[in-house]
Amino acid sequence: PLISLRQLLDHAAEHDYGVPAFNVNNMEQIQAILQAAEACGAPVILQASAGARKYAGEPFLRKMVEAVLEQYPQLPVCLHQDHGASPAVCQQAIRSGFSSVMMDGSLLEDQKTPASYDHNLAVTARVVEMSHAVGVSVEGELGCLGSLETGQAGEEDGVGAEGTLDHSQLLTDPDQAADFVAATGVDALAIAIGTSHGAYKFTRQPTGDILAIERIAAIHAAIPNTHLVMHGSSSVPQEWLATIRRFGGDIRETYGVPVEEIVRGIRSGVRKVNIDTDIRLAMTGAMRQLMAEKPEEFDPRAFFKAATAAARGICMARFEAFGCAGQA
Ligand code: G3H
Ligand code: 13P
Ligand code: NA
Ligand code: ZN
Protein backbone atom coordinates (compact mmCIF):
# COMPACT_ATOMS: atom_id res chain seq x y z
CA PRO A 1 0.00 0.00 0.00
CA LEU A 2 0.97 3.64 -0.31
CA ILE A 3 2.35 5.41 2.74
CA SER A 4 0.96 8.76 3.86
CA LEU A 5 3.02 11.93 3.62
CA ARG A 6 2.79 12.31 7.42
CA GLN A 7 4.35 8.90 8.04
CA LEU A 8 7.03 9.41 5.43
CA LEU A 9 8.02 12.90 6.62
CA ASP A 10 7.85 12.01 10.32
CA HIS A 11 10.66 9.55 9.58
CA ALA A 12 12.56 12.25 7.66
CA ALA A 13 12.21 14.67 10.59
CA GLU A 14 13.32 12.06 13.09
CA HIS A 15 16.42 11.30 11.02
CA ASP A 16 17.13 14.85 9.76
CA TYR A 17 16.82 14.40 6.02
CA GLY A 18 14.70 15.85 3.21
CA VAL A 19 12.69 14.01 0.58
CA PRO A 20 12.47 15.18 -3.03
CA ALA A 21 8.90 15.14 -4.34
CA PHE A 22 9.08 14.62 -8.08
CA ASN A 23 6.23 15.49 -10.43
CA VAL A 24 5.11 12.63 -12.65
CA ASN A 25 3.08 12.58 -15.85
CA ASN A 26 4.14 9.45 -17.71
CA MET A 27 5.69 6.02 -17.41
CA GLU A 28 9.26 7.11 -18.15
CA GLN A 29 9.33 9.70 -15.36
CA ILE A 30 7.87 7.23 -12.88
CA GLN A 31 10.37 4.55 -13.88
CA ALA A 32 13.30 6.99 -13.67
CA ILE A 33 12.34 7.98 -10.11
CA LEU A 34 11.81 4.40 -8.95
CA GLN A 35 15.03 3.15 -10.56
CA ALA A 36 16.91 5.92 -8.75
CA ALA A 37 15.14 5.22 -5.46
CA GLU A 38 15.92 1.53 -5.71
CA ALA A 39 19.58 2.23 -6.49
CA CYS A 40 19.82 4.64 -3.51
CA GLY A 41 17.51 2.87 -1.09
CA ALA A 42 15.40 6.04 -0.82
CA PRO A 43 11.77 6.67 0.13
CA VAL A 44 9.63 8.05 -2.70
CA ILE A 45 7.12 10.87 -3.10
CA LEU A 46 5.40 10.85 -6.48
CA GLN A 47 3.28 13.90 -7.05
CA ALA A 48 0.73 14.55 -9.76
CA SER A 49 -0.66 17.95 -10.69
CA ALA A 50 -4.06 18.59 -12.21
CA GLY A 51 -2.13 18.95 -15.49
CA ALA A 52 -0.66 15.46 -15.01
CA ARG A 53 -4.10 13.95 -14.55
CA LYS A 54 -5.26 15.75 -17.65
CA TYR A 55 -2.22 14.56 -19.61
CA ALA A 56 -2.17 10.89 -18.60
CA GLY A 57 -5.80 10.47 -17.63
CA GLU A 58 -6.80 9.44 -14.14
CA PRO A 59 -7.02 5.66 -14.77
CA PHE A 60 -3.58 5.50 -16.42
CA LEU A 61 -1.98 7.46 -13.61
CA ARG A 62 -3.65 5.28 -10.99
CA LYS A 63 -2.66 2.04 -12.75
CA MET A 64 0.95 3.13 -13.24
CA VAL A 65 1.25 3.77 -9.51
CA GLU A 66 -0.32 0.35 -8.89
CA ALA A 67 2.47 -1.07 -11.06
CA VAL A 68 5.03 0.74 -8.91
CA LEU A 69 3.70 -0.94 -5.77
CA GLU A 70 3.81 -4.31 -7.49
CA GLN A 71 7.34 -3.89 -8.81
CA TYR A 72 8.89 -2.16 -5.76
CA PRO A 73 7.15 -3.64 -2.70
CA GLN A 74 10.20 -2.91 -0.53
CA LEU A 75 10.15 0.90 -1.03
CA PRO A 76 7.88 3.31 0.88
CA VAL A 77 5.92 5.28 -1.74
CA CYS A 78 3.61 8.25 -1.16
CA LEU A 79 1.27 9.49 -3.91
CA HIS A 80 0.54 13.18 -3.48
CA GLN A 81 -1.82 15.56 -5.28
CA ASP A 82 0.25 18.63 -6.15
CA HIS A 83 -1.44 22.07 -5.97
CA GLY A 84 -5.04 21.02 -5.44
CA ALA A 85 -7.04 24.07 -6.49
CA SER A 86 -10.16 23.30 -4.46
CA PRO A 87 -11.58 20.85 -1.93
CA ALA A 88 -13.31 19.10 -4.86
CA VAL A 89 -9.96 18.42 -6.59
CA CYS A 90 -8.58 16.99 -3.34
CA GLN A 91 -11.66 14.82 -2.93
CA GLN A 92 -11.19 13.42 -6.45
CA ALA A 93 -7.56 12.62 -5.63
CA ILE A 94 -8.59 10.79 -2.47
CA ARG A 95 -11.13 8.82 -4.49
CA SER A 96 -8.31 7.89 -6.90
CA GLY A 97 -6.32 6.46 -4.00
CA PHE A 98 -3.81 9.27 -3.32
CA SER A 99 -2.30 9.07 0.17
CA SER A 100 -1.70 12.81 0.42
CA VAL A 101 -3.19 15.98 -1.03
CA MET A 102 -2.12 19.58 -1.27
CA MET A 103 -4.85 22.16 -0.83
CA ASP A 104 -3.27 25.27 -2.33
CA GLY A 105 -5.53 27.90 -0.83
CA SER A 106 -2.90 30.62 -1.19
CA LEU A 107 -4.54 31.26 -4.56
CA LEU A 108 -8.21 31.21 -5.53
CA GLU A 109 -9.56 28.25 -7.50
CA ASP A 110 -8.20 29.74 -10.76
CA GLN A 111 -4.72 29.30 -9.19
CA LYS A 112 -3.90 32.79 -10.46
CA THR A 113 -5.49 35.22 -8.01
CA PRO A 114 -3.96 35.53 -4.53
CA ALA A 115 -6.56 34.52 -1.94
CA SER A 116 -7.30 36.19 1.37
CA TYR A 117 -5.93 34.58 4.52
CA ASP A 118 -9.47 33.76 5.65
CA HIS A 119 -10.28 32.01 2.38
CA ASN A 120 -7.08 29.97 2.59
CA LEU A 121 -7.81 28.99 6.16
CA ALA A 122 -11.40 27.97 5.44
CA VAL A 123 -10.75 25.78 2.38
CA THR A 124 -7.67 24.17 3.95
CA ALA A 125 -9.47 23.33 7.20
CA ARG A 126 -12.26 21.68 5.15
CA VAL A 127 -9.75 19.53 3.29
CA VAL A 128 -7.97 18.52 6.50
CA GLU A 129 -11.26 17.40 8.03
CA MET A 130 -12.23 15.25 5.07
CA SER A 131 -8.71 13.86 4.46
CA HIS A 132 -7.78 12.99 8.02
CA ALA A 133 -11.05 11.11 8.35
CA VAL A 134 -9.67 8.61 5.82
CA GLY A 135 -5.96 8.67 6.79
CA VAL A 136 -4.82 10.98 3.99
CA SER A 137 -2.26 13.70 4.76
CA VAL A 138 -2.66 17.36 3.83
CA GLU A 139 -0.18 19.98 2.68
CA GLY A 140 -1.26 23.62 2.80
CA GLU A 141 0.46 26.71 1.45
CA LEU A 142 0.92 30.05 3.14
CA GLY A 143 2.39 32.91 1.15
CA CYS A 144 2.62 33.10 -2.64
CA LEU A 145 5.49 31.68 -4.64
CA GLY A 146 7.19 34.39 -6.60
CA SER A 147 10.39 36.22 -7.33
CA LEU A 148 11.78 38.67 -4.80
CA GLU A 149 13.61 40.22 -7.78
CA THR A 150 10.52 41.04 -9.82
CA GLY A 151 7.43 40.23 -7.74
CA GLN A 152 6.31 37.88 -10.53
CA ALA A 153 5.24 34.26 -10.02
CA GLY A 154 7.82 33.31 -12.61
CA GLU A 155 5.89 30.65 -14.45
CA GLU A 156 5.23 31.27 -18.11
CA ASP A 157 3.00 28.25 -18.67
CA GLY A 158 0.29 28.57 -16.14
CA VAL A 159 1.25 27.70 -12.54
CA GLY A 160 1.29 30.60 -10.11
CA ALA A 161 -0.12 34.00 -9.36
CA GLU A 162 -0.82 36.50 -12.09
CA GLY A 163 0.27 40.12 -11.73
CA THR A 164 2.74 41.58 -9.29
CA LEU A 165 2.89 40.30 -5.73
CA ASP A 166 3.93 42.57 -2.89
CA HIS A 167 6.85 41.74 -0.65
CA SER A 168 4.75 40.55 2.31
CA GLN A 169 2.99 37.94 0.12
CA LEU A 170 6.33 36.63 -1.14
CA LEU A 171 7.66 35.66 2.30
CA THR A 172 5.78 33.43 4.73
CA ASP A 173 5.36 35.05 8.15
CA PRO A 174 6.25 32.70 11.06
CA ASP A 175 3.54 34.04 13.41
CA GLN A 176 0.87 33.70 10.75
CA ALA A 177 2.15 30.17 10.02
CA ALA A 178 1.62 29.25 13.67
CA ASP A 179 -1.93 30.62 13.55
CA PHE A 180 -2.63 28.82 10.24
CA VAL A 181 -1.39 25.45 11.50
CA ALA A 182 -3.31 25.75 14.77
CA ALA A 183 -6.51 26.56 12.88
CA THR A 184 -6.20 23.99 10.07
CA GLY A 185 -4.19 21.03 11.41
CA VAL A 186 -2.18 20.56 8.20
CA ASP A 187 0.57 17.94 8.21
CA ALA A 188 2.87 19.93 5.94
CA LEU A 189 3.13 23.55 4.92
CA ALA A 190 4.49 24.99 1.69
CA ILE A 191 6.31 28.23 2.39
CA ALA A 192 7.22 31.22 0.24
CA ILE A 193 10.90 32.19 0.44
CA GLY A 194 11.56 33.62 -3.02
CA THR A 195 11.38 30.49 -5.16
CA SER A 196 9.00 30.21 -8.10
CA HIS A 197 7.91 27.48 -10.50
CA GLY A 198 9.48 26.76 -13.86
CA ALA A 199 12.89 27.34 -15.43
CA TYR A 200 13.05 31.12 -14.94
CA LYS A 201 13.51 31.64 -11.21
CA PHE A 202 16.47 34.00 -10.88
CA THR A 203 18.33 36.22 -13.36
CA ARG A 204 21.58 35.55 -11.47
CA GLN A 205 22.97 33.04 -8.96
CA PRO A 206 20.68 33.66 -6.00
CA THR A 207 22.00 35.33 -2.86
CA GLY A 208 20.27 35.86 0.50
CA ASP A 209 18.37 38.96 -0.69
CA ILE A 210 16.43 36.97 -3.32
CA LEU A 211 16.40 33.49 -1.75
CA ALA A 212 15.42 33.70 1.91
CA ILE A 213 16.79 30.41 3.26
CA GLU A 214 17.39 32.08 6.67
CA ARG A 215 13.64 32.51 7.12
CA ILE A 216 13.12 28.75 7.24
CA ALA A 217 14.57 28.40 10.75
CA ALA A 218 12.11 30.96 12.17
CA ILE A 219 9.14 29.27 10.49
CA HIS A 220 10.33 25.86 11.71
CA ALA A 221 10.67 27.20 15.26
CA ALA A 222 7.08 28.51 15.12
CA ILE A 223 5.59 25.22 13.81
CA PRO A 224 8.05 22.45 14.79
CA ASN A 225 5.56 19.60 14.25
CA THR A 226 4.51 20.66 10.76
CA HIS A 227 6.72 19.53 7.91
CA LEU A 228 8.01 22.40 5.78
CA VAL A 229 7.81 22.15 2.00
CA MET A 230 9.91 24.03 -0.53
CA HIS A 231 8.18 24.44 -3.89
CA GLY A 232 9.91 25.70 -7.02
CA SER A 233 13.06 23.86 -5.95
CA SER A 234 14.56 22.85 -9.24
CA SER A 235 18.23 23.73 -9.46
CA VAL A 236 18.08 24.35 -13.24
CA PRO A 237 21.43 22.65 -13.98
CA GLN A 238 23.62 24.81 -16.19
CA GLU A 239 24.98 21.65 -17.89
CA TRP A 240 21.52 20.66 -19.06
CA LEU A 241 20.80 24.20 -20.24
CA ALA A 242 24.05 24.05 -22.24
CA THR A 243 23.08 20.70 -23.78
CA ILE A 244 19.64 21.94 -24.74
CA ARG A 245 21.15 25.05 -26.36
CA ARG A 246 23.91 23.11 -28.12
CA PHE A 247 21.33 20.90 -29.82
CA GLY A 248 18.95 23.59 -31.04
CA GLY A 249 16.93 24.51 -27.97
CA ASP A 250 16.16 28.10 -27.04
CA ILE A 251 16.42 28.80 -23.30
CA ARG A 252 17.62 32.18 -22.13
CA GLU A 253 20.01 32.79 -19.23
CA THR A 254 18.47 31.63 -15.97
CA TYR A 255 19.36 30.22 -12.54
CA GLY A 256 17.62 27.84 -10.16
CA VAL A 257 17.88 27.00 -6.47
CA PRO A 258 21.40 25.65 -5.82
CA VAL A 259 21.42 22.16 -4.30
CA GLU A 260 23.60 23.40 -1.43
CA GLU A 261 20.96 26.05 -0.56
CA ILE A 262 18.31 23.32 -0.45
CA VAL A 263 20.59 21.32 1.83
CA ARG A 264 20.83 24.38 4.12
CA GLY A 265 17.03 24.51 4.03
CA ILE A 266 16.84 20.85 5.06
CA ARG A 267 19.18 21.56 7.98
CA SER A 268 16.76 24.32 9.03
CA GLY A 269 13.68 22.07 8.91
CA VAL A 270 12.57 21.55 5.29
CA ARG A 271 11.37 17.97 4.73
CA LYS A 272 9.75 17.93 1.25
CA VAL A 273 11.41 19.47 -1.78
CA ASN A 274 9.31 19.82 -4.95
CA ILE A 275 11.10 19.20 -8.24
CA ASP A 276 9.57 19.10 -11.70
CA THR A 277 11.55 21.42 -14.00
CA ASP A 278 14.92 19.66 -13.53
CA ILE A 279 13.47 16.39 -14.81
CA ARG A 280 11.89 18.22 -17.76
CA LEU A 281 15.20 19.87 -18.64
CA ALA A 282 17.21 16.65 -18.35
CA MET A 283 14.76 14.64 -20.46
CA THR A 284 14.58 17.34 -23.12
CA GLY A 285 18.36 17.74 -23.21
CA ALA A 286 18.95 14.00 -23.56
CA MET A 287 16.38 13.64 -26.33
CA ARG A 288 17.69 16.65 -28.26
CA GLN A 289 21.22 15.33 -28.04
CA LEU A 290 20.31 11.85 -29.26
CA MET A 291 18.17 13.17 -32.09
CA ALA A 292 21.00 15.42 -33.25
CA GLU A 293 23.75 12.81 -32.87
CA LYS A 294 21.83 9.85 -34.31
CA PRO A 295 19.66 11.28 -37.08
CA GLU A 296 19.08 7.79 -38.46
CA GLU A 297 17.36 6.67 -35.24
CA PHE A 298 13.57 6.47 -35.43
CA ASP A 299 12.64 4.02 -32.68
CA PRO A 300 11.11 6.28 -30.03
CA ARG A 301 12.26 3.86 -27.35
CA ALA A 302 15.81 5.00 -27.95
CA PHE A 303 14.85 8.60 -27.14
CA PHE A 304 12.73 7.61 -24.15
CA LYS A 305 15.53 5.43 -22.83
CA ALA A 306 18.01 8.31 -23.00
CA ALA A 307 15.47 10.62 -21.36
CA THR A 308 14.82 8.10 -18.57
CA ALA A 309 18.54 7.75 -17.89
CA ALA A 310 18.94 11.54 -17.70
CA ALA A 311 16.00 11.89 -15.31
CA ARG A 312 17.34 9.03 -13.21
CA GLY A 313 20.62 10.91 -12.86
CA ILE A 314 18.84 13.98 -11.50
CA CYS A 315 16.83 11.86 -9.04
CA MET A 316 19.85 9.95 -7.74
CA ALA A 317 21.79 13.18 -7.22
CA ARG A 318 18.89 14.71 -5.21
CA PHE A 319 18.32 11.56 -3.12
CA GLU A 320 22.02 11.57 -2.23
CA ALA A 321 22.28 15.31 -1.54
CA PHE A 322 19.12 15.47 0.60
CA GLY A 323 20.28 12.63 2.87
CA CYS A 324 17.53 10.33 1.62
CA ALA A 325 19.76 7.55 0.37
CA GLY A 326 19.65 4.49 2.59
CA GLN A 327 16.57 5.71 4.49
CA ALA A 328 13.98 3.46 2.78
O1 G3H B 1 3.56 23.24 -9.66
C2 G3H B 1 3.83 23.03 -10.81
C3 G3H B 1 4.36 21.75 -11.28
O4 G3H B 1 5.60 21.98 -11.91
C5 G3H B 1 3.37 21.06 -12.17
O6 G3H B 1 3.27 21.64 -13.43
O7 G3H B 1 0.83 21.93 -13.86
O8 G3H B 1 2.50 21.84 -15.74
O9 G3H B 1 1.92 19.79 -14.43
P10 G3H B 1 2.05 21.29 -14.41
P1 13P C 1 10.06 23.46 -10.12
O2 13P C 1 9.36 24.13 -11.27
O3 13P C 1 11.15 24.32 -9.56
O4 13P C 1 10.55 22.11 -10.48
O5 13P C 1 9.00 23.29 -8.94
C6 13P C 1 8.04 22.25 -8.95
C7 13P C 1 6.98 22.44 -7.92
O8 13P C 1 7.05 23.24 -6.99
C9 13P C 1 5.79 21.57 -8.04
O10 13P C 1 4.82 21.86 -7.08
NA1 NA D 1 2.63 19.76 -3.43
ZN1 ZN E 1 4.63 23.88 -6.53
Least Cα distance to 168 among 139, 140, 146 occurs for: 146
Counting the structural domains of the chain, the total is: 1
Contact 230, 282 (CB under 8 A): no
Residue 232 Cβ contacting ligand 2 at under 6 Å: yes
Domain with 39 in it: what CATH number?
A: 3.20.20.70
Tell me the best of 83, 102, 103, 111 to mutate to test the pocket of ligand 1, counting ligand atoms within 8 Å of each CB and taking the most.
Answer: 83
Please check whether residue 234 lies inside any domain of the structure. yes
- CB contact burial 259-283 (16+ within 10 A = b; e otherwise): bebbbbbbebbbbbbbbbbbbbbbb
Residue 206 CA to its chain's centroid (Å) = 19
Least Cα distance to 88 among 117, 131, 48, 54 occurs for: 131
**Rounded CA separation 176/208 (Å):** 22
Please check whether residue 326 lies inside any domain of the structure. no
Q: In this predicted model, what pLDDT tens digit does every residue of 48-96 receive, in sequence order?
A: 999 999 999 999 999 999 999 999 999 999 999 999 999 999 999 999 9
Please check whether residue 327 lies inside any domain of the structure. no
Please check whether residue 328 lies inside any domain of the structure. no
Q: Which ipTM did the prediction report? A: 0.98
Domain encompassing residue 196: 5-321
**Which residue positions in the chain have pLDDT lower than 50?**
none
Tell me the best of 22, 23, 231 to mutate to test the pocket of ligand 1, counting ligand atoms within 8 Å of each CB and taking the most.
Answer: 23
Q: List active site positions.
A: 82
Residue 111 Cβ contacting ligand 2 at under 6 Å: no
Q: Taking the CA of residue 155 as centre, how many other CA atoms within 13 Å lie in the half-sphere pointing to its CB?
A: 21
What integer pLDDT is reported at residue 18 of this predicted model?
A: 99
Instruction: Residue 299: count other Cβ atoms within 10 Å of its Cβ.
Output: 8
What integer pLDDT is reported at residue 160 of this predicted model?
A: 84
